[in-house]
Structure 1
Amino acid sequence: MPSTLLANLRRDRTITDWDPEDREAWDNGNAAIAKRNLVWSVICEHVGFSIWSLFSVMALFMGPEYGISLDQKFMIAATATFVGSCLRIPYTQATARFGGRNWAIFSAIVLVIPTGLTMMLMMNPGEFGFGWFLAVAAITGFGGGNFASSMTNINAFYPQRLKGWALGLNAGGGNIGVPAVQLIGLLVIWLAADSPEIVCAFYLLLLAVAGAGAALYMDNLDHQTSSATAMIDCLRHRDTWVIGILYVGTFGSFIGFGFAFSQVLNISFTSSGAAKPALAAAQIAWIGPLLGSLARPYGGKLADRIGGGKVTMYTFVGMIAAAAILVVAGTMADNNGKVIDSGHLVGLIVGFILLFLLSGIANGSVYKIIPTIWEEKAQSRTDLGAMEKVTWSRSMSGALIGLAGAAGGLGGVGINLVLRASYKSNQSATVAFWIFMAFYVLAAVITWWFYVRSRSVVSNETTDIVVEVPGTAPAADMSAGGAEAAVETAGQPKVSTSAGNGTLA
């Protein structure tokens, strides 16, 4: 172990000429390199998601002694979600500017600040006002930015034929950070209900592990292609706006409900007369986010087989049905004098868990659509050589990943604000449930219209990107007088011979 660690410390950190579409290079070592980076990318993103959703757990510890109202708890959750969503745009650019490994180290270290501040707030109930909680919640939003940099980085490591699975696994592993922190919170509530700082201390330790692992085992690619120019170019395409809407309904649902589910359960168990509503809520709140996280890579894998458009549309139809369960349960509770009994609770829990599960599947399938869209557009461009098409497609995919991630996170803000308004005006969440269901209907129609009805590339299984043989020009370029634009296919990555164990690193 010491010699292995020493070798990892000494090895070259930058890989040049990485071409994931080169089958021979992939089978002879590149797959292992990509896997190693994927594993630690998942770990860093996982911890980031946990810190981002930290206040969804802290809210259960915040009794009257903290002086924070129900209305303010929803605002704290919305603030964390909003900042995390906005930070996804600059985080998308970070891997290209600083390197995937370097940024993973930074993104882990910087989260020590909000974690430590949260510990300070929770250890001193009543001594810090709402403004303090709002400010610290905003800083936890840095954890939400991790998603964009991590996804952009992994998108560059994997070939087109495996992106659905790889991106789904990366995102799903990160998303599990939401139920993970809730499970840690449940354990602490059960064993030491008056010691929320234990949760923060645990994550300070995990941040150290994630930062050290990224430093030892991750790599920088010299061709990370996400850029501000690509983001601006993305905004000129209709698909960018369409994908943004779809991601509001998929990831927006996941992260929005991830922040709000425990609070909705707490309110519901309190209404039903539970002796310990916070404990009862904590025992259930983690189930939905866990199922949604686990479903995400399978949504990507299913999209690899039958198409991202079809999978996304079918899951939105399922989400309409799940939202309908919430509407029925909420309406029945409203007609019962706004008192929630056991039957209503079952309906609310089942509806929310189904929404988590289905949103996880759709998360993976939407991210399969993204690289497929740009590959389709790249192949239709006669002004680019084969490798130029690959580079352009990667750049636009990375940019849209950041933009869609930001839009999806803002959907989570909307969910918390809609629930807050519904509780404030009607003392129930039924109006919010109606709004959620209406949005899923709209999203299903949009998916069918743009990505199922007439888009065979998105609807059906995609194939590998075609990269020209060295020394030849693609037919499209020859016909356009562009033979001189032909470029050689990149081979295996070039790295320093100081790589630790003598293999490609």
Structure 2
Amino acid sequence: MTAPSSISPPHQGSHWIEEWDPEDESFWESKGRRIARRNLAFSVISEHIGFSVWSMYSVLALSMGPEYGIDPAGKFFLVAVASLVGAILRVPYGFAIARFGGRNWTVFSAGLLLVPTVSLLFVMEPGTSYTTFMVVAVLTGVGGANFASSMTNINNFYPLRLKGWALGMNAGGGNIGVAVVQLVALLVIGVAGAGHPRVLLSVYVPLIVVATLLSARFMDNLGPVRNDTGAAEEAVREKHTWIMSVLYIGTFGSFIGYSFAFGLVLQNQFGRTPLQAASLTFIGPLLGSLIRPVGGRLADRLGGARVTLWNFAAMFAASGVVVLASLQKSLPLFIAGFVALFVLTGVGNGSTFKMIPGIYRAKASAQGMEGEAAAVYARRLSGASMALIGAVGALGGLGINLTLRQSFLSYGSGTGAFLAFLAYYGLCFVLTWAVYLRRTAVRAAPEATAGTEPRLSYAEV
């Protein structure tokens, strides 16, 4: 796992670590754990602010009154564009870690958040064209891409037995940036009024600078992690990459889509004012973010597939509550159902991402690999898959906002969209059971003959 001599010169410096084996117990206990936790902490900070910038339009839209000349469908489309760009950029961001180093890319991507934030400072006022707002919505997408590089980077630092917890902490700390920006927006609206969105933006400019400097000072690059186009190509051909993408649309796609849209739904379906909507929107993203590490920990103990299966069953039931509340125009029931959905998306986010490295470790064992060889195989394939799964999963946010936009255009409410979401969770439940927990998929087949792919046991992943 040493670096080829042809690329060793760029790895000079105190921030490069050339030997890294977290699966080695003695290495992990002597120095690996300390280094991994330090990088996790500062990764969370940068990813947290990235999520805040990515979801900035979800709170700024509450301040876009009639004087902005943008109807509800137009606002849903703005947040959908931000969601789309963030999803697309997750692919190159995920692979950038191996090309440039985790610390180096985190510094760059954190500093890049200044571009959309400063741009919004200039354009956030009545009279600005919708096209201009659309261009800046594209820029805010870079905040959502930070997730892919951050998760790929932290996946490399931790041993398999702790990945569920570590990835849950990293993602949960980042996801909570959605709730924090909504809380800060609530404070701004409450103190300065809905007509002063620039105050919110002014808060984040210095925070971005601080996060960039902290990443540069305290994070590390892992020399053994190499840009492996073979792993990327193999991940694209691997069916589990796309199966897990479908499941991740249901969990993370729901989380980010609902986070972007919740306030707009409260405004347009239940007639809430900007202050009233802002006072409610942060609750769901906050709980969903805080519970994500719990989902990862449960998956470490019970198996990610089992946790994911029953989590989708619960999401199906919670969606039924939301549909009923929408039909009855019951705001308390609607909020209760939506908050439950947010919590369940957090649990599912943790359990699905735990499954990814476990799936590839199981495949390595089925191919006869052991020890370091199996760990390397699982690490390279899971890292490549995470970039793709994270990107496709984030497209769920786009789907949710476009579906809600169409539902409001067609029916004047979100009921039609909520029915579509309910059906999707039912599909995810069936898919999880059929692929990872069905009796024939769980039981290993020792009698498998040459040329026949063995039946792998995924129940514990």
Task: Tell me whether the two structures share a fold, i.e. TM-score over 0.5.
Answer: yes
State the one-letter code of the partner of 1:186.
L
RMSD: 1.4
Counterpart Cα distance in 2 of 1:394 and 1:356 = 30
State the one-letter code of the partner of 2:385.
L
Structure 2 residue aligned with 1:314, among 293, 300, 310?
310
Counterpart Cα distance in 2 of 1:368 and 1:71 = 36
Counterpart Cα distance in 1 of 2:335 and 2:458 = 34
Higher-Rg structure is 1
Match of 1:192 in 2: 192
Alignment of 1:190-339 (within 5 A): 190-193=190-193, 194-225=195-226, 227-270=228-271, 277-333=273-329
Higher alpha-carbon deviation: 436-445 or 191-200:
191-200
Alignment of 1:452-467 (within 5 A): 452-453=437-438, 454-455=441-442, 457-460=457-460
Query: Where does structure 1 differ by over 4 angstroms across 4 or more consecutive aligned residues?
Result: none
Structure 2 residue aligned with 1:399, among 346, 365, 384?
384
Match of 2:183 in 1: 183
Match of 1:366 in 2: 352
Between the aligned residues of both structures, percent identity stands at: 49
- Shift of residue 235, structure 1, vs aligned partner: 1.9
Alignment of 1:139-158 (within 5 A): 139-158=139-158
- Shift of residue 269, structure 1, vs aligned partner: 3.5
Counterpart Cα distance in 2 of 1:294 and 1:11 = 36
Counterpart Cα distance in 2 of 1:23 and 1:169 = 22
Match of 1:438 in 2: 423
Alignment of 1:19-168 (within 5 A): 19-122=21-124, 124-126=125-127, 128-168=128-168
Counterpart Cα distance in 1 of 2:299 and 2:227 = 24
Instruction: Tell me the alpha carbon deviations over residues 263-283 of structure 1, each in whole angstroms, 9 at most, x when there is no partner.
Output: 01111341xxx5xx1110000
Instruction: Give yes or no for contact 1:226–1:395 (8 Å, CA) kept in 2.
Output: no
Say which SS state the counterpart of residue 459 (structure 1) adopts.
Answer: coil
Counterpart Cα distance in 2 of 1:225 and 1:393 = 14
State the one-letter code of the partner of 2:343.
L
Instruction: Give yes or no for contact 2:247–2:428 (8 Å, CA) kept in 1.
Output: yes
Instruction: Give yes or no for contact 1:268–1:345 (8 Å, CA) kept in 2.
Output: no
- Shift of residue 380, structure 1, vs aligned partner: 2.0
Counterpart Cα distance in 2 of 1:364 and 1:24 = 28
Say which SS state the counterpart of residue 428 (structure 1) adopts.
Answer: coil
Counterpart Cα distance in 2 of 1:306 and 1:150 = 25
Counterpart Cα distance in 2 of 1:62 and 1:16 = 51
Higher helix share: 2
State the one-letter code of the partner of 2:50.
G
Instruction: Tell me the alpha carbon deviations over residues 74-124 of structure 1, each in whole angstroms, 9 at most, x when there is no partner.
Output: 0100000000000000001111000000000000111101001111121x3
Instruction: Tell me the alpha carbon deviations over residues 11-39 of structure 1, each in whole angstroms, 9 at most, x when there is no partner.
Output: 70000120000101111121010000000
Instruction: Give yes or no for contact 2:437–2:458 (8 Å, CA) kept in 1.
Output: yes
1:227–1:73: structure 2 CA closer, same or farther, 3 Å change rule?
Answer: farther
Instruction: Give yes or no for contact 1:226–1:396 (8 Å, CA) kept in 2.
Output: no
1:385–1:332: structure 2 CA closer, same or farther, 3 Å change rule?
Answer: closer
Counterpart Cα distance in 2 of 1:225 and 1:160 = 19
State the one-letter code of the partner of 2:351.
S
Say which SS state the counterpart of residue 21 (structure 2) adopts.
Answer: coil
Say which SS state the counterpart of residue 291 (structure 2) adopts.
Answer: helix
Number of residue pairs the alignment of both structures matches: 434
- Shift of residue 225, structure 1, vs aligned partner: 4.2
Match of 1:354 in 2: 340
Instruction: Tell me the alpha carbon deviations over residues 44-98 of structure 1, each in whole angstroms, 9 at most, x when there is no partner.
Output: 0000000000000100111111222211100100000000000000001111000
Counterpart Cα distance in 1 of 2:72 and 2:364 = 50
Counterpart Cα distance in 2 of 1:237 and 1:265 = 41
State the one-letter code of the partner of 1:438.
A
Counterpart Cα distance in 1 of 2:239 and 2:166 = 26
Counterpart Cα distance in 1 of 2:341 and 2:226 = 34
Say which SS state the counterpart of residue 360 (structure 1) adopts.
Answer: helix
- Shift of residue 227, structure 1, vs aligned partner: 3.5
Instruction: Tell me the alpha carbon deviations over residues 457-490 of structure 1, each in whole angstroms, 9 at most, x when there is no partner.
Output: 4323x6xxxxxxxxxxxxxxxxxxxxxxxxxxxx
Instruction: Give yes or no for contact 1:152–1:226 (8 Å, CA) kept in 2.
Output: no
Match of 1:170 in 2: 170
Instruction: Give yes or no for contact 1:225–1:398 (8 Å, CA) kept in 2.
Output: no
Structure 1 residue aligned with 2:362, among 376, 381, 384?
376
Match of 1:449 in 2: 434
Instruction: Tell me the alpha carbon deviations over residues 300-328 of structure 1, each in whole angstroms, 9 at most, x when there is no partner.
Output: 00000000000001110000011001111
Counterpart Cα distance in 2 of 1:431 and 1:69 = 19
1:190–1:32: structure 2 CA closer, same or farther, 3 Å change rule?
Answer: same
- Shift of residue 329, structure 1, vs aligned partner: 1.3
Counterpart Cα distance in 2 of 1:392 and 1:318 = 34
Counterpart Cα distance in 2 of 1:287 and 1:226 = 39
Higher alpha-carbon deviation: 224-233 or 178-187:
224-233
Match of 2:448 in 1: none
